[in-house]
Amino acid sequence: MSERKHSEPVARQLLIVGRVQGVWYRASAEQEATRLGLSGWVRNTRDGSVEALVAGAEEAVEAFVDWARQGPPAAKVERIEIAAGSPPETAGFHVLPDA
């Protein structure tokens, strides 16, 4: 019998703090989210952090959060704040204009 976990879709709002702008964080996040089959968006904020909303299967969202703790090679993530989010209104994953 398979122990594969099936879960309801979830959404998480992330605030990624550190050296995360100017290091291809958003483009890398878009690639990772697309690879994981997630919906949502990512954008830079005025304070130098990156904000993201990811939605999909719980396992995929958790995998994205694990990836986000490191980010692309040039990033230096100091911390991530995670909160429950609302599913995005559009399908797919997008890079949004800066907040």
Annotation marks residue 4 as catalytic: no
Annotation marks residue 46 as catalytic: no
**DSSP string for residues in 38-77:** -EEEEEE-TTS-EEEEEEEEHHHHHHHHHHHTT-STT-EE
CA distance 83 to 65: 11
Catalytic residue among 19, 26, 69, 79: 26
Catalytic residue among 44, 46, 69, 79: 44
Active site residue ranges: 26, 44
